[in-house]
Amino acid sequence: MQEQYRTVAREGVHETEINRSRFICALAPAATEREAQDFVARIRKEHPTATHNCFAYVIGADAAVQKASDDGEPGGTAGVPMLQMLLRRDIRYAVAVVTRYYGGVKLGAGGLIRAYGGAVGEALDALGTVTRQRFRLATVTVDHQRAGKVENDLRATGREVRDVRYGEAVTIEIGLPDSDVDAFRAWLADATSGTAELELGEEAYGDVRTQRDV
């Protein structure tokens, strides 16, 4: 399982013009291949009169699923450079559709490759990316007397507090990197005089920072 991956920060559109042709790149996160395909279908429906609606998507933290389509452009001049741009930027779980409205000037194979790949790169720059880190879901069970301080300390040190529930005891759900488990267990025992319990759950991914590519 990959330690982290990057994906599109949000769904959005970025447009550029090259030799009177409009290149409109729509980007979106996609958790599954079906989500990616549905997004492609939606963009095509939004641009039924476009000359081409080319796409590329990468699904899986390890880029296990990679698909691309030239949609009528010369083979290898649209979908592949789009896909290569996603991979070059280490983008995962994302889909890109570049809609072209032909402006009357032929770009040639090299021009098309630069245009389609560049449209994706510019859209990534404009929309930004988010890095998602692998972590383990964990539940801390602590008595009411100590719960407030434990929760405050968790938040103060940047821990991801996902949920807090109050019952006979207080349960605090957090996201915990695997590498921090032993140190966290020792800290929790010290902070609660050994009265708190730590239960480890399944692995997942969570956002760790948002950044803009330059």
CA 214 to CA 25: how far, in whole Å?
A: 18
pLDDT, averaged in runs of 10, over the chain (214 residues): 84 96 97 97 97 97 95 96 97 97 94 97 96 87 94 87 93 87 92 94 67 32
Q: Does an H or E element contain 68, and which?
A: strand 65-69
The domain 4-127 having CATH identifier 3.30.230.30: the answer here is yes
3-class DSSP assignment, residue 169: coil
Domain extent listing, the chain: 4-127, 132-211
Distances (CA, A) of 139 to 142, 168, 182, 187, 188: 10, 15, 14, 15, 12
DSSP line for 88-116: HTTB-SEEEEEEEE--S---HHHHHHHHH
Q: Which pLDDT score is estimated for 98?
A: 98
- Tokens at 196, concatenated: 């708190």
Q: Which pLDDT score is estimated for 3?
A: 73
- Which of 3.30.70.240, 3.40.309.10, 3.40.190.290, 3.40.50.1970 is the CATH number of 132-211? 3.30.70.240
CA 211 to CA 91: how far, in whole Å?
A: 13
Share of the chain above pLDDT 90, in %: 79
Q: What is the pLDDT of residues 23-33, one digit of tens each?
A: 999 999 999 99
CA 130 to CA 33: how far, in whole Å?
A: 20
pTM of the model: 0.72
Q: Give 101's contacts (C-beta < 8 A, 6+ positions apart).
A: 21, 22, 24, 50, 51
Q: Which pLDDT score is estimated for 207?
A: 66
Q: Which pLDDT score is estimated for 210?
A: 36
